[in-house]
Amino acid sequence: MNIQEHHLSVRRTARYYTYGELSPKTRHIWLVCHGYGQAAAGFIRSFRCLPPDTHYVIAPEALSRFYWKDFTGPIVASWMTAEDRVHEIQDYIQYLDQLYKHITENIPSNNCSINVLGFSQGATTVSRWIGQGEAKPDHLLFWAGAIAHDLDWQRAASKFKQMKLWLCIGTNDEYIKAPQIEAQKTVLQEQTVPFKLVLFDGKHAIHQPTLLALLPDLEKPSLLV
C-alpha cells in the first residue's frame, strides 16, 4: 500500500476574548497569548488588574483544543505540537496576523501603545509570529517562556530591534531556571537585540504587581509629554 501525506488549506473559526473598551481614551492595546494547556477565557483574567478605560486586552485562543484530563477535565488549548509543526506554525502566524490587522484597523487614536505578550508556550508562539509575520507592535514581552530555538534571526533580529523587548521571569518559576535564562540572554546578545530582563518574586504565572510596575515603560513618547 502506497501511503502518502497531503495537506489542504481550509477555513475555520478562531475565538478570542477581550477585556476593556476600545475608545478614544484607550492608551494601551494588548494582544496576549496564553500558554500550553490554558484557555483564553481564563488567561485574560490575569489582566483584570489593568484599568479597563485605558487598556484594551485581546486574548486569542490557540486553534487546537483538547480535554486536559480524560474527557472530564477542562477544555484547554495548545498552539502547536511536534506533529506537522511547519503547517501549524504557518496557521497560527496567519491567524494572529489577521487578528492583529482586524484590531489595529479600528484603533480610534494614534496615541495607543501596542503591546504583545506571550506567556509560556505563548512566548515561543509570539516570537515566531512577530519574527516571521506582519505585525509591528511597540513593545514585546516574553513572559515565563522561551524564544523559539529555530527562529529565523535573519529576519527576526531587524524586526525585534524596532520595538522594546522584555524578558519577564519569576525567580521561583517551576519550569525556567538560571541556565535557561542565561541561554535566552545569550541569544539576544548575539543578535545584538536590546532587551530588559525583569526578575520578579513569583512562579510560572502572570505576576500582576510586576505587570503594573512595567506600565510607565510601555508608554509611547507622545503620551509622556
The pLDDT tens digits for 52-85 are 999 999 999 999 999 998 888 899 999 999 999 9
Looking at residue 220, its pLDDT comes to: 67
Mean pLDDT lowest among 34-48, 91-105, 107-121: 107-121
Looking at residue 107, its pLDDT comes to: 85
Residue 107 has a CB neighbour count (10 Å cut-off) of 15
Report yes or no on 39 lying in a domain.
Answer: yes
Three-state SS at 210: helix
Residue 128 has a CB neighbour count (10 Å cut-off) of 23
- In this prediction, residues 34-51 reach a mean pLDDT of 97
Report yes or no on 20 lying in a domain.
Answer: yes
The pLDDT mean for the chain works out to 93
Q: How many domains does the chain have?
A: 1
Q: Is the pLDDT of residue 189 over 50?
A: yes
Contact predicate 204/144, CB 8 Å: yes
Where does the chain have alpha helices with state H?
A: 40-43, 85-104, 121-132, 153-160, 178-190, 208-214, 221-224
Report yes or no on 143 lying in a domain.
Answer: yes
Looking at residue 221, its pLDDT comes to: 57
Looking at residue 106, its pLDDT comes to: 80
Report yes or no on 6 lying in a domain.
Answer: no
Looking at residue 9, its pLDDT comes to: 87
Phi, psi (rounded to 5 degrees) for 113: -90, 125
Residue 114 bridge partners (DSSP): 29
Residue 38 bridge partners (DSSP): 77
Contact predicate 201/171, CB 8 Å: yes
Q: Quick one: CA torsion of 197, 199, 171, 142, rounded to 10 degrees?
A: -50
- Cell numbers for 170: 519569576
Report yes or no on 184 lying in a domain.
Answer: yes
Report yes or no on 4 lying in a domain.
Answer: no
Q: Quick one: CA torsion of 48, 51, 53, 58, rounded to 10 degrees?
A: -40
Percent of the chain scoring above 70 in pLDDT: 97
In angstroms, the CA 105 to CA 62 distance is 22
Residues 83-106 pLDDT 10s: 999 999 999 999 999 999 999 988
Residue numbers of the domain that contains 44: 16-224
Mean pLDDT lowest among 42-46, 69-73, 173-177: 69-73
Q: pTM of the predicted model, to two decimals? A: 0.94
Name the residue with higher pLDDT: 222 or 125. Answer: 125
Determine whether 63 is exposed, middle or buried from the number of CB atoms within 10 Å of its CB (0-12, 13-18, 19+): middle
Report yes or no on 9 lying in a domain.
Answer: no
Report yes or no on 34 lying in a domain.
Answer: yes
Q: Is the pLDDT of residue 193 over 70?
A: yes
| CATH number of the domain residue 195 falls in | 3.40.50.1820
